[in-house]
Structure 1
Amino acid sequence: MHMTFKGWAAIVLTIAAAGAAHAGGFSRGTANTDILYEDGRVVLQGGSTYVAPSRAYETVSGRPVSDGSMTGSYWVPGLAVKIGINDASSCALTYTEPYGASLETGAQTQRAQLLAGRDGSIASHLRSDEYGATCAVKLPAGPGNLVLVGGVFLQSIDYKDQSLLGTLHLGDDEAYGYRLGAAYEIPDYALRAQLLYRSAVDHEGDGTFTASPLAAARYGVPAGYTVFAHGGGTLPQSLEISLRSGVAEDWLAFGSVKWTDWSVLPSLDYVVTGFGPQHRDFNFRDGWTIQGGLAHSFTEKLAGLVSLTWDRGVSTGADVLTDTWTLGAGAQLKTDIGNFQIGAGLSYMTAGMQSIARSATLDATVGGDWGLGVTTSYAIKF
């Protein structure tokens, strides 16, 4: 073979990032625990994925609108350090942004919401950070190794939601979760089958609510009046099965199936002092993400791959998070100073609709929309 398949975990993860960044719900980045399988006593890898989705309403309250895209572009960073303890065990420190969202509706949509007397969200932003520590132990088993994986992570969130009544800001700096998994690998055939579980994380956060002029007129408080707020919710558990294997000279096939328990988040519930209990409905269903692809080694230093990812939309009618199809391609270049990976994904988001009857702020429809993801990373081994 031109290029050993043992070092291909990085390139497969890189191209997977371009597809995963368009996944359902609020999913964004995935911690690079695959670095545990890389050769080398110390391995460093860092990268970033840029995603530019374009989701726009076609109609609101039965009328055509031309507000343009309501989804903002964003970056998803990823850092990982593997430290080999001995030939049979290693640990990794990782960082990523596992969840995020950015939504801003246009003037026509906001006007329709005001005329309909609806006070729902007109702009929302969610950011999260995950700091993880994961270890793996290899046990000889037949022609390969049984690998046991486990670790913990700290997750924080920062959430802002603007409605016609005002702006809610909640944050939680410290919540914990864990990972557990098992894999079987035969390195000589680049074969690895893995089952990896990531736990749910419960968040409770304090913050503020700042009243808008509309709230001032309705409730008799000054515009800009700020009061205490408290609320929370659960971000989901997930289970992923992945398989990769050499299938011919210089060829590698890979695939994965991931289930994410988005139905655990029916709503964000919070309490605002003086305004009482409030909620933001999501009514998500569980998400499924299926990916498959092929990689090929062209020379000892250059490899490339293609992939296709399907993500089942989590929407049940309260929003327009529909199915997404992503075609990805990537390349890896080995140099004397490290390995460079680059990938890109073109995503198609299917048409859909939301309705007040299903807890949406307004009746609205979307057509088929497109998104683009570009990802790069660099890895070096010692």
Structure 2
Amino acid sequence: MKRVYFLGAGLFLLGSGSVLAGGIERSGQFLGPLFEEGNYLELSYGHVSPSASGRDQTPFGPGAATGNILGSYNSIGFAYKQQLNDQWSAALIVDQPLGADLLYPVGGSAMLGGTSVDVSSVNVTGVVRYKIPDSPFGVHAGIRASRTDGSVSVDGAAFGPVSGYSMSVDHDTAFGWLAGVSWERPEIGARVSLTYNSPINHDFRATERGPLVDPDGPGPAPALPLLDGSSPLRVSTPESWNLAFQTGLTPKTLLFGSIRWVDWSSFRIDPERLWQVTGHGLVELDDSTTYTLGIGHAFSERWSGAVSFSYEKAGDDMVSPLAPTNGSKSVTLAAIYTQDQMTVTTAVTYAALGDANPSMGTPAMAAAELEGSYAWGIGVKVGYSF
């Protein structure tokens, strides 16, 4: 029985474990196709339906129900890997790593109702790998292009005098890089790879709109449109490290896993006019580390199965209303069908999202309490080796 049946399947599951990791992450940026044998083509599709709801927190106690604030989303992916010779290979990978679709329904939450976020991104990664002759080691490096756009609106009593503020940015394309090392023992299905992904600095043009601001309170100066205007906005998507591993336990069984660390604390959105008026930006996040461990088994020449578990430690319960999750635990089940050169993988993921309190102010005061949040995800991947 060939262990190669599991190589793509294991890494597919690693990527599917990134449901809302760190708050806005939708894929783990792993490089599984680069390590496939020979030439390889891959198409993938995923759908995620999250749910997060709770009640307002007011000075007088629990308030209105928020309703579900998280929207469903789809993701598609493409990868092509070319084996150039015995030492050199190259891959092109297209994915959608970051995104947000959030709305506190109007008419529900008085504290946050009307607050919304819409962020989308598409990444194109080109990477080459060099396998050192007569050695189990290899090195890889590449360039990543990211096209991103988004908009944010804040509404509700929790935002006080800036309720009704909005900010949007047009598409911007920016570039980063990646580099890593790998170790392989194909005869036992073993591989360890470590990859560093650099920050990507987007230079947007932000358009801000907001309510009139009275600079001297009830004084003689009139309220002014201080929140309205257009200005440059730099947003850096964070650097990260990916450690992925796998090893054959028996000719039919593979153990696999990963550790992914992301520097979310460096990811800030500080529009110029909002910062001048309030002294605060829109988003502050904590760093995240996501652990995944799984096992795959071949039941026949054509059918295999796998299960993986992912864990992201919860941080402070007080979270941004624009990224209202706090750690997660998830399980993914997959079925893999192999026919000649084609492999079809289907997977389903359930993620329990940690309880969180969307909060505002310094010190932070909870505007809502979210409990029992979760997400379901399904994915299909078709791989063809030639």
TM-score by length of structure 1 reads 0.87
Distance (whole Å) between structure 1 residues aligned to residue 371 and residue 317 of structure 2: 16
Specify whether residues 122 and 315 from structure 1 end up closer, same or farther in structure 2 by C-alpha distance, changes over 3 A only.
Answer: farther
Specify whether residues 107 and 373 from structure 1 end up closer, same or farther in structure 2 by C-alpha distance, changes over 3 A only.
Answer: same
Q: 1:153 aligns with which of 144, 147, 150?
A: 144
Distance (whole Å) between structure 2 residues aligned to residue 351 and residue 288 of structure 1: 17
Q: Which residue of 2 aligns with 1:173?
A: 172
Distance (whole Å) between structure 2 residues aligned to residue 269 and residue 254 of structure 1: 39
Q: Which residue of 1 aligns with 2:158?
A: none
Q: Which residue of 2 aligns with 1:44?
A: 41
Per-residue deviation, 1:111: 2.7
TM-score by length of structure 2 reads 0.86
Q: 1:341 aligns with which of 345, 355, 371?
A: 345
Q: 2:255 aligns with which of 253, 259, 262?
A: 253
Specify whether residues 284 and 359 from structure 1 end up closer, same or farther in structure 2 by C-alpha distance, changes over 3 A only.
Answer: farther
Per-residue deviation, 1:235: 1.2
Specify whether residues 187 and 370 from structure 1 end up closer, same or farther in structure 2 by C-alpha distance, changes over 3 A only.
Answer: same
Specify whether residues 277 and 82 from structure 1 end up closer, same or farther in structure 2 by C-alpha distance, changes over 3 A only.
Answer: farther
Specify whether residues 359 and 334 from structure 1 end up closer, same or farther in structure 2 by C-alpha distance, changes over 3 A only.
Answer: farther
Distance (whole Å) between structure 2 residues aligned to residue 233 and residue 357 of structure 1: 22
Letter in 2 for 1:183: S
Per-residue deviation, 1:358: 5.0
Letter in 2 for 1:52: S
Q: Which residue of 2 aligns with 1:118?
A: none
Letter in 2 for 1:263: S
Specify whether residues 261 and 310 from structure 1 end up closer, same or farther in structure 2 by C-alpha distance, changes over 3 A only.
Answer: same
Distance (whole Å) between structure 1 residues aligned to residue 247 and residue 112 of structure 2: 52
Distance (whole Å) between structure 1 residues aligned to residue 103 and residue 187 of structure 2: 50
Q: Which residue of 1 aligns with 2:246?
A: 244
Secondary structure at 1:280 match in 2: coil
8 Å CA contact retained: 1:354, 1:362: yes
Per-residue CA deviations over 1:218-240 (Å, capped at 9, x if unaligned) read 9566xxx9742431222111112
Distance (whole Å) between structure 2 residues aligned to residue 355 and residue 67 of structure 1: 14
Map residues 1-382 of structure 1 onto 2, 5 A cutoff: 1=1, 4-31=2-29, 33-40=31-38, 42-61=39-58, 62-108=61-107, 110-113=109-112, 122-141=115-134, 145-163=136-154, 164-211=163-210, 214-215=211-212, 219=223, 227-265=229-267, 267-272=268-273, 279-313=280-314, 317-319=318-320, 320-336=324-340, 338-358=342-362, 363-382=367-386
Per-residue deviation, 1:52: 0.9
Specify whether residues 361 and 48 from structure 1 end up closer, same or farther in structure 2 by C-alpha distance, changes over 3 A only.
Answer: farther
Specify whether residues 6 and 45 from structure 1 end up closer, same or farther in structure 2 by C-alpha distance, changes over 3 A only.
Answer: same
Per-residue deviation, 1:251: 0.5
Secondary structure at 1:8 match in 2: helix
Per-residue CA deviations over 1:234-257 (Å, capped at 9, x if unaligned) read 211111212100012300001111
Per-residue deviation, 1:362: 5.1
Specify whether residues 333 and 314 from structure 1 end up closer, same or farther in structure 2 by C-alpha distance, changes over 3 A only.
Answer: same
Q: Which residue of 1 aligns with 2:219?
A: none
Specify whether residues 22 and 207 from structure 1 end up closer, same or farther in structure 2 by C-alpha distance, changes over 3 A only.
Answer: closer
8 Å CA contact retained: 2:137, 2:184: yes
Which protein has the bigger strand share?
Answer: 1
Distance (whole Å) between structure 2 residues aligned to residue 210 and residue 355 of structure 1: 22
Q: Which runs of 5 or more structure 1 residues have no equivalent in the other structure?
A: 115-120
Distance (whole Å) between structure 1 residues aligned to residue 315 and residue 47 of structure 2: 22
Per-residue deviation, 1:363: 2.3
Letter in 2 for 1:150: A
Distance (whole Å) between structure 2 residues aligned to residue 17 and residue 11 of structure 1: 10
Q: Which runs of 5 or more structure 2 residues have no equivalent in the other structure?
A: 155-162, 215-221
8 Å CA contact retained: 1:200, 1:237: yes
Report which stretch shifted further, 312-321 or 372-381: 312-321
Per-residue deviation, 1:56: 1.0
Distance (whole Å) between structure 2 residues aligned to residue 232 and residue 70 of structure 1: 27
Per-residue CA deviations over 1:128-183 (Å, capped at 9, x if unaligned) read 111110011111355xx211111011112101011342431113522111111101
Distance (whole Å) between structure 2 residues aligned to residue 282 and residue 25 of structure 1: 11
Secondary structure at 1:14 match in 2: helix
8 Å CA contact retained: 2:341, 2:385: no
8 Å CA contact retained: 2:247, 2:256: yes
Letter in 2 for 1:245: T
Secondary structure at 2:270 match in 1: strand
Letter in 2 for 1:16: L
Secondary structure at 2:318 match in 1: coil
Distance (whole Å) between structure 2 residues aligned to residue 343 and residue 30 of structure 1: 16
Letter in 1 for 2:330: T
8 Å CA contact retained: 1:270, 1:277: no
Per-residue deviation, 1:285: 1.7
Letter in 1 for 2:11: L
Per-residue CA deviations over 1:308-334 (Å, capped at 9, x if unaligned) read 100124656233321200011101111
Q: What is the root-mean-square deviation in Å for CA atoms of aligned residues?
A: 2.7
Distance (whole Å) between structure 2 residues aligned to residue 133 and residue 9 of structure 1: 21
